[in-house]
A and B are shown apart, each in its own frame.
Chain A
Amino acid sequence: DGGITQSPKYLFRKEGQNVTLSCEQNLNHDAMYWYRQDPGQGLRLIYYSQIVNDFQKGDIAEGYSVSREKKESFPLTVTSAQKNPTAFYLCASSITGTPGELFFGEGSRLTVL
């Protein structure tokens, strides 16, 4: 079945460590997104990519980095510069030309100890 796979589902890290969240899709979608979700805050856009080898910052990109070397993969690195990284992270994809029709993964919950 086609879809988006995020891993790991749960992740714990110590302060000062970088951590990378994986996002893989087999939907053949051009666009991919990373959102952060905090209780009562809705979803906020971290980074997005419309095409391979190109990506743009979203509203809260500070302390995060991404790469888009392959169409199906869009990993997110949470760096030690992110001051409050504990959150639920959601990856999504869409077909170019259908803005807003996002397909979401099941999310990764990161907890900083």
Chain B
Amino acid sequence: AQSVTQPDIHITVSEGASLELRCNYSYGATPYLFWYVQSPGQGLQLLLKYFSGDTLVQGIKGFEAEFKRSQSSFNLRKPSVHWSDAAEYFCAVVTYSGGGADGLTFGKGTHLIIQP
């Protein structure tokens, strides 16, 4: 079965510093991978996605992620964080059954705190 692990429950970064959020996946074939962001009490918003091709993908709000098959990772990065980036971040992988795509399996999330 497909699974996603986000090793860091909380990360604290100073405003203006760079950011990297880790994500490891378990899937036999080439996965479809996603990063979502959630502000408190809100729904989730898609940041970026990887299906195939270029392993460095660009997303919204200045985020990017790199797919590394050898490490089973899909880490999210941003060169300089802003206070508005404080949120919960979820990595996810598409799951499949005999009938096709079932939806997404999410990691447990990383809570990003921005220090002034």
Residues of A that sit less than 8 Å from B by CB: 4, 33, 35, 40-45, 48, 50, 56, 58, 90, 92, 99-107, 109
Asked whether, in the complex, the Cβ of B102 is within 8 Å of the Cβ of A48, the reply is: yes
Overall SS of chain A's interface: strand
Asked whether, in the complex, the Cβ of A106 is within 8 Å of the Cβ of B43, the reply is: yes
Asked whether, in the complex, the Cβ of B45 is within 8 Å of the Cβ of A101, the reply is: no
In the bound complex, residues from chain A placing their C-beta under 8 Å from that of B100 are 50
A33-B103 Cα distance, complex, nearest whole Å: 8
In the bound complex, residues from chain A placing their C-beta under 8 Å from that of B43 are 4, 90, 92, 104-107
Knowing A40-B108, A99-B94 are in contact, say whether A104-B45 is a contact too (CB < 8 A).
yes
Overall SS of chain B's interface: strand
Q: Mark B26-63, 1 if CB is under 8 A from A, else 0.
A: 00000010101000011111100100000000000000
Knowing A42-B109, A48-B103, A56-B99 are in contact, say whether A100-B42 is a contact too (CB < 8 A).
no
Asked whether, in the complex, the Cβ of A101 is within 8 Å of the Cβ of B49, the reply is: yes
A33-B95 Cα distance, complex, nearest whole Å: 13
Asked whether, in the complex, the Cβ of B103 is within 8 Å of the Cβ of A45, the reply is: yes
Q: Which residue of A lies closest to B46 (CB)?
A: A101
Asked whether, in the complex, the Cβ of A42 is within 8 Å of the Cβ of B99, the reply is: no
A90-B44 Cα distance, complex, nearest whole Å: 9
Q: Which residue of B lies closest to A94 (CB)?
A: B103
Q: Which of A43, A58, A101, A104 contacts B102 (CB 8 A)?
A: A58
Asked whether, in the complex, the Cβ of A100 is within 8 Å of the Cβ of B94, the reply is: yes
Q: Is B104 an interface residue (CB 8 A)?
A: yes
